[in-house]
Structure 1
Amino acid sequence: MALYQLPTGTYTTRAAFAVTGGSFLDKRSFAATAVLIHHPQGDLLIDAGFGENVAAHIAMLARMERAPYERRSTAAQQLEAAGYDQARLRGVLVTHVHWDHVSGLDSLHVPVWINKDELRYGTEDSHGAVFRSVSRGLDIHEYTFDAMPYLGFPASFDVYGDGSVVVALAAGHTSGSVVVLVTLPSGSRYAFIGDLTWQMDGITRGAERPWLMRRLADVDPGTVRQGLRRSIALSRAFQIVPSHDVGAYDSIPPLPTHFPGEAG
């Protein structure tokens, strides 16, 4: 079992719009990075990053949501270049369906792993327009949370049944947004917290999004605040990875030049 990062690009915003107390002069690069979970029972991507048609996807956003961006190779292109056997890929597990997490679905012909509340959000909310476009024709693998809380989060789903990858319901940012908690055989533990915070400032100094951005970006800012506090508590045992903090991925290796083959 292993993790690999697939950085597909970045976009730029000012810290004043990202975290409370951020400077307007401080420009932040927001990551659009997919993460491959390589597991003996089959692999999953966490989110999809930018796709081949990212320019068209950005054009679908409200003007105030658009930002300068730089595109790298898509997740699909990186997998192909590494000689990865895409028959191993069981699907893309989305933390939530905002455009910068799902754009790359346009070139990944695999199922979308999603829960019912997030699927409803993606189907009905105006912020789901890109998701509706890129998921058209893809299989939807709808997973169900059991009744068990997990590390303070109210419900969870054990992907492989071995505790190595657990999806925990966070909600708040979107209706069914999730945290993905990964434990590697080495004992290293990662918490991919989606957009509970956009930058590590949310973990290191408890900085929420600015008031206006909470109103615009979150369906329930109070629930996001609870999820952020849980994530801060987890940081004693987990490497916390906010989806859009470039540096948060530093300890995760990129795909090897030649991906190791594996039978089964």
Structure 2
Amino acid sequence: MSLYQLPTGTYETRAAFAFKGGSFREKRRFAATATLLRHPKGDLLIDAGFGSHVAAHIQSLPRMERAPYQANGTASEQLDAHGYDRGGLRGVLLTHSHWDHVSGLDGLQVPVWINEGELRYANEHRGGKVFRAVSAGHRIQQYEFDGPAYLGFSSSFDVYGDGSVVVVPARGHTTGSVIVFVALPTGRRYAFIGDLTWQIDGIRRRAERPLLMRKLADTDPGLVRDDLLRMIALADVMHIVPAHDVTAYEGISRLSN
């Protein structure tokens, strides 16, 4: 087993909008990064990052949600550039279905792994608009949380059946958002927490989103707060990766030929 980051680009926002107590003068680069998880039973991407049509995807957002951005190579382009055999890729496991996590599906003709709650959100909510466009033609690999409680979360889905990759529900940002726990053979452990917090400051400072952003971005801010506290309690035993914190991916290798 191994992990690789595929940084597909960034967009810019103010720290004041990212976490409570952040400065309006400080600009933050929000990561749009896919993570390749290699496993003997088949590989997965955790989220898809920016796609080749990212400009159109951003343009489709409400004006207040658009931000200056910089695109790197898509996940698809990076896999090909490094000679990756796509026959080993089982699909894309989404932390949730917002545009900056799914844009890259436009170049990845593999199954989309998603749970029932998130699929319903993606098909019905305005936040799923880009997902509905880029997922057309993809096979939907729907999974259920039929496993036991895990690290304080009420239920789980063991992807490979060996405890190495366990998905838990974190239904506060969207109605089906998840956290993906990864345990490598080296003993290194990771938690890919999606948008539970946008920046690692949310963990280190015990800081939720500012009130306005909680109201605008989260379907249930109370659930987000509860799960954020659970992850804060785990911060000393694993590497926590908020999806949009550029620095959180440090230590995860990039693909090489």
Give the TM-score normalised by the residue count of structure 1. Answer: 0.97
2:86 alignment counterpart: 86
Offset of 1:155 from its aligned partner? 1.4
1:216 alignment counterpart: 216
The count of corresponding residues between Structure 1 and Structure 2 is: 257
The whole-number CA distance in structure 1 between the counterparts of 2:14 and 2:71 is 19
1:262 alignment counterpart: none
Q: Secondary structure at the match of 1:193?
A: strand
The whole-number CA distance in structure 2 between the counterparts of 1:196 and 1:16 is 16
Query: Is the contact between residue 147 and residue 157 of structure 2 (CA under 8 Å) also seen in structure 1?
Result: no
Offset of 1:148 from its aligned partner? 1.4
Query: Is the contact between residue 9 and residue 31 of structure 2 (CA under 8 Å) also seen in structure 1?
Result: yes
Q: Which amino acid aligns with 2:60?
A: M
The whole-number CA distance in structure 2 between the counterparts of 1:247 and 1:218 is 23
Offset of 1:65 from its aligned partner? 0.5
Matched ranges for 1:1-264 at <5 A: 1-256=1-256, 258=257
- Deviation sequence 1:59-85 (CA, Å, 0-9, x none): 110100000000000000000000000
1:261 alignment counterpart: none
The whole-number CA distance in structure 2 between the counterparts of 1:200 and 1:109 is 32
Q: Which amino acid aligns with 1:113?
A: W
The whole-number CA distance in structure 1 between the counterparts of 2:230 and 2:251 is 22
Structure 1 residue runs of 4 or more that deviate by more than 2 Å after TM superposition: none
Offset of 1:147 from its aligned partner? 4.8
Q: Which amino acid aligns with 1:9?
A: G
Q: Which amino acid aligns with 1:85?
A: D
The whole-number CA distance in structure 2 between the counterparts of 1:155 and 1:244 is 25
Structure 2's unaligned 5+ residue stretches are: none
Task: Give % identity.
Answer: 67
The whole-number CA distance in structure 2 between the counterparts of 1:238 and 1:47 is 20
Q: Which amino acid aligns with 1:194?
A: G
Could you say what the CA RMSD is over the residues aligned between the two structures, in angstroms? Answer: 0.5
Offset of 1:4 from its aligned partner? 0.2
Offset of 1:234 from its aligned partner? 1.1
Offset of 1:154 from its aligned partner? 1.6
The whole-number CA distance in structure 2 between the counterparts of 1:152 and 1:51 is 35
Structure 1's unaligned 5+ residue stretches are: 259-264
